[in-house]
Amino acid sequence: MLSLALASMMEEVHAHSGAVYLLGADPPSLRMAVMAGLPREFAAPWERVALHAPIPVADAVRERRLIWVGDGEEMARRYPRVAVVLPYPFALVALPVATESTAYGAVFLTWPGTRPAELSEWEREQLTAACARLALRLERAAEASLPVHPEPDPPTAPVVSGASGTLGSLEAVRMVGRLPYGLCSLDLHGRVGFANPAAAELMGVPVGRLLGTQLWTSVPWLNDPVYEDRYRAALLSQRPTSFVALRPPGAWLSFRLYPTRTGLSVRIVRARGVSRPGSSGPATGEAAPPRLVTISQVVGLTGALSEAVSVQDVVQLIADEIAPTVGSQGLVVLGSRAGRLHVLGHRGYPDPFAVERFEGMPLTAKLPGTQVLRTGVPAFFESAEQLERLYPARESRRDDFAAWAFLPLITSGRPVGTCVLGYERPHPFTTEERAILTSLAGLVAQALDRALLYDAKQRLAHGLQDALLPHSLPALPGIEAAARYLPATRGMDIGGDFYDLVPARGTAAAVIGDVQGHNVTAAGLMGQVRTAVRAYTTVGQAPEEVVRSTNRLLIDLGTELFVSCLYLRIDPGRGRAVLARAGHPPPLLRRPDGRVGVLEVDGGPLLGIDASAPYPRTEVDLPPGSLLALYTDGLVESPDVDFEDALAGLGHRLAEAGDLPLDELADHLVSHEVGAEERPDDIALMLLRAQG
């Protein structure tokens, strides 16, 4: 039923190709049931179409009306997703297959770009009536509970296994075989059905290996998307196309493709006038304009966008890579939040006030920057007159550019923002350029969506870290203190290193520790440990008891993470310090005479392993002028440096600069890590100096 209805419609209006879609539910979508006239691969991205998709067949069903797209330029303007995949000159009509009460599907038909730009009234009536008859048949089938299934696509001309009979007579085959140039026949799928001896000789592949295969599959040096694209262009536009290809090591061949509704005839000759090695363009006399963006450039831009991390990375990449490639001199990237536009970044605008007009603009404003985001359809303005004629409200908001491309940034059907490209001179946007800019906008939208999420996570991480670590250290009598924290450069820039300084009944308690991991879980556990240490200190527990109590708490919490910890109680009046250590690196002590050494502190295992583990106390003298350096292993551990050597280096820097004010000394000790591109672990440092 479907195949016959489609064939009848195509024959009636002399369409080149077409397809029938059936409407399914849960979720509502259109599924291609049969296609004719072209390989189904041409429409592969639209085998199944969501009903809300900006595609002609979906619009036809949603709006219950005929959709006509007269040429490639109109396709690029109204349906850029289709134009990106099929940037060729062709016309398309889409109609709903529906009764007054029920929609059953849709039909589309295509013609080469050479047909009249408008669909005649007679064609409209014929197609509308044919779709109504098909809808009535589908309605009757549904009432009779007869399921309608997808049907096999009508077969193309069969591939022959030999030359005999291919042209209708043996003498005709002999004639073609005597020709000095190559001839071969391709079906609609690009498979070779006939090749004469000259074609096989020119391409260097026996006829037997060519028959039944696609040229770009059986001829290795034709395995390039550019050549396959010429075949697709010829079939869809029904216009002769050509290209020149290099047969290694140095023979240039010219291919001329003559399409019909049943396949293509290909003429192959030796090319003349090709002087520049590596240029595989059209033959002399058939020159085509250079491609705006090559396949390799698109691949490169895709890779670069996939590596962009933050929003500013994306903006910088668009400014450095995409804008120059498409000839743009100005750029504004806008984000959408809470029903308004927000400027995420801009380049090339001499007057920054021209950019500020976008900030806070409601999405309901009748301006191109908001219109494209609401509709999902890009807008191209070749001159200022064209823009101001369509948007007169913009006249008071002029900038220094003469042409603009407003590109909606949409990913997964969700608006992310708008990219505005400005051109210094009036700029006509070709069909290919519109398709390419729309395609690049899709890549930018995905990168920007990831970057916005990353920036939001970073803000959350930094806010959580700031909330869990002390904003400042308290001023305690007899103790001078300073601390620094640097997150790891991997993960979320958040970690489990912590430190604190707590008043403790005439003494001072200090703690430094490290929770496994660099994520929110580690940070949350770090907050619990720091709170527990403060609580046990406040109730007056001895240092070894504070560590033991914290260990039991971690085991009771059932966490799978372990924690290292160094806790000490300083009594400045007596010049003494009491320490307890749980798997943490030992502190460095700089004595009043400037000598630095590792403080030997007895210890126990990491917290969270053994509920009965002992944590002995260690008492040391701490006369006035003594300086303790407490640190986490991120400051001294490195994959390519021995731990002992790194610890000795830290001690050497502490000895040399130990007389500096404590804040300057803290900056000096972490200075080599502040600008590091790779910091695999968090770093925490706390300095305590006993005063007289």
H-helix or E-strand containing 259?
A: strand 251-260
Q: Select the more confidently predicted residue: 682 or 562.
A: 562
Q: 323 in helix, strand or coil?
A: helix
Give mean pLDDT, residues 405-428: 89
User: Could you tell me the pLDDT band of residue 296, with boundaries at 50, 70 and 90?
Assistant: very low
How far is 628 from 483, CA to CA, in rounded Å?
Answer: 12
Q: Which of 16, 242, 11, 256 is nearest to 113 (CA)?
A: 16
Tell me whether residue 644 is exposed, middle or buried, using C-beta atoms within 10 angstroms of its C-beta: 0 to 12, 13 to 18, 19 or more: exposed
pLDDT digits (tens, 9 = 90+) for 96-142: 999 988 999 999 999 988 888 899 999 999 999 999 999 999 999 98
pLDDT greater than 50 at residue 453: yes
The tokens of 70 are what? 């007269």
Per-residue pLDDT of 604-653, as tens digits, reads 999 999 989 999 999 999 999 999 999 998 888 876 778 888 889 999 99
Name every residue whose Cβ is closer than 8 Å to that of residue 630 and which is 6 or more positions away in sequence.
499, 510, 512, 566, 568, 587, 685, 686, 687, 688
Q: How far is it between the farthest Cα atoms of the chain?
A: 118
d(CA 580, CA 512): 11
Predicted pLDDT of residue 26: 67
Measured CA to CA, the distance from residue 46 to residue 317 in angstroms comes to 31
Counting beta carbons within 10 angstroms of the beta carbon of residue 254, is it exposed (0 to 12), middle (13 to 18) or buried (19 or more)? buried
* Closest of 549, 500, 494 to residue 524, by C-alpha: 494
> Could you give the residue ranges of the DSSP H alpha helices within 469-542?
520-538
- Under 8 Å between Cβ of 208 and 160: no
Beta-bridge partner residues of 372: none
Residue type for position 215:
L
* 507 neighbors 567 (Cβ within 8 angstroms): no
525 contacts 578 by C-beta, under 8 angstroms? no
What's the mean pLDDT when you consider all of the chain?
Answer: 83
Helix (H, G, I), strand (E, B) or coil at 110: strand
CA dist 479 and 575 (Å) reads 11
Decide: helix, strand or coil at residue 70: coil
Q: How far is CA 541 from CA 158, 500, 509, 534, in A?
A: 91, 16, 11, 10
- pLDDT (average), residues 528-541: 90
pLDDT in tens, 187-205: 888 889 888 888 888 888 8
Specify whether the CB–CB gap between 382 and 301 falls below 8 A.
no
The H or E element spanning position 2 is helix 2-13
Do residues 370 and 357 lie in contact, with contact meaning Cβ atoms separated by under 8 Å?
A: no
**Phi, psi for residue 606 in degrees, rounded to 5:** -55, 150
For the stretch 535-561, pLDDT in tens is 999 888 999 999 999 999 989 888 878
Task: Give the residue among 523, 382, 415 at the shortest CA–CA distance from 461.
Answer: 523
Say whether pLDDT at 288 is over 70: no
Backbone angles phi, psi at 667, to 5 degrees: -60, -40
